[in-house]
Amino acid sequence: MSRREELVASLAAVRGRLADACAAAGRRPDEVTLVAVTKTRPVEDVALLAELGVRDVAESKDQEAAPKAAALPGLTWHFVGRLQRNKARSVAAYASVVHSVDRAPLVDALADGAARAGRDLDVLLQVSLDGDPERGGVLPADLLPLAERVASAGPLRLRGVMAVAPQGADPGASFAELQALAERLRAEHPSASWVSAGMSGDLEAAVAHGSTHVRVGTALLGQRPPLSR
């Protein structure tokens, strides 16, 4: 089976899961955007997905994302990894959406980078649902103050929230908590209507709790190759 045939089959399977999840939740399939997470994958895979109609793709490291975005500028590029301030200017020059904003200095750095690039940048606030600093994310109690910081930051557009279900936790309960936080944010900032939640193993639970963007890597592209030593 060719790589294209593999991707045709996996994309059909993921889209089928999304359609079923939307039907179970009483939602329309067009309410949920499939974001293909292509980290560690060659640019040829991204190009094949684009040919198959996938327009939203995500990366988690600037050094990998920047050359791919340069090679395929017609796509909507999402940045989903933990982002350091010294990479913010680079990311702001090519990403359309940054999902992992979790602290005020990063807000300022992204705003500066977007202003220098002369473009607007959609941002999501990453929420920590378990308080683990290694995984990143703003604590729920600090969500609204950070949202205010984004809302006043010139070229940044506050779009909503993002979270990863804690390891070993019930994803349904985790995404229900995120849904409540998203509603609280939306009450203060009506345009912040996006919820980035759900990955290959838990997208159904995320869709049931209002996810508008699911970030799928393994189910689309297969297991990632082992890291070289």
Domains of the chain by range and CATH?
3-221 (3.20.20.10)
**Given pLDDT bands bounded at 50, 70 and 90, which one contains residue 224?**
confident
Token digits of residue 36? 């293909």
Choice among 14-28, 113-127, 214-228 with the minimum mean pLDDT: 214-228
What pLDDT, on a 0 to 100 scale, did the predictor assign at position 229? 42
Residue 227 has pLDDT above 80, yes or no: no
Please list the residues that pair with 145 across neighbouring strands. none
Please list the residues that pair with 194 across neighbouring strands. 160
Average pLDDT of span 25-43: 97
Contact in structure between 128 and 164 (CB atoms under 8 Å): no
Contact in structure between 96 and 71 (CB atoms under 8 Å): no
- Half-sphere exposure in the Cβ direction for 8 (13 Å, CA): 6
Residue 197 has pLDDT above 90, yes or no: yes
Helix (H) or strand (E) holding 43: helix 43-51
Average pLDDT of span 191-201: 98
What pLDDT, on a 0 to 100 scale, did the predictor assign at position 223? 84
Q: What is the mean pLDDT of the chain?
A: 96
Instruction: Determine the Cα angle at 226 with ends 221 and 229, to 5°.
Output: 150
Per the listing, tokens 């939640």 go with 197
What pLDDT, on a 0 to 100 scale, did the predictor assign at position 225? 65
Instruction: Determine the Cα angle at 7 with ends 47 and 217, to 5°.
Output: 80
Average pLDDT of span 149-153: 97
Average pLDDT of span 201-209: 98
Helix (H) or strand (E) holding 87: helix 85-94
Say how far apart CA 48 and CA 106 lie, in whole Å: 33
**Given pLDDT bands bounded at 50, 70 and 90, which one contains residue 226?**
low
Closest CA to 140 of 187, 197, 185: 185
Say how far apart CA 156 and CA 125 lie, in whole Å: 12
Render pLDDT for 91-126 as a digit per residue (tens, 0 to 9): 999 999 999 999 999 999 999 999 999 999 999 999
Token digits of residue 33? 């955007």
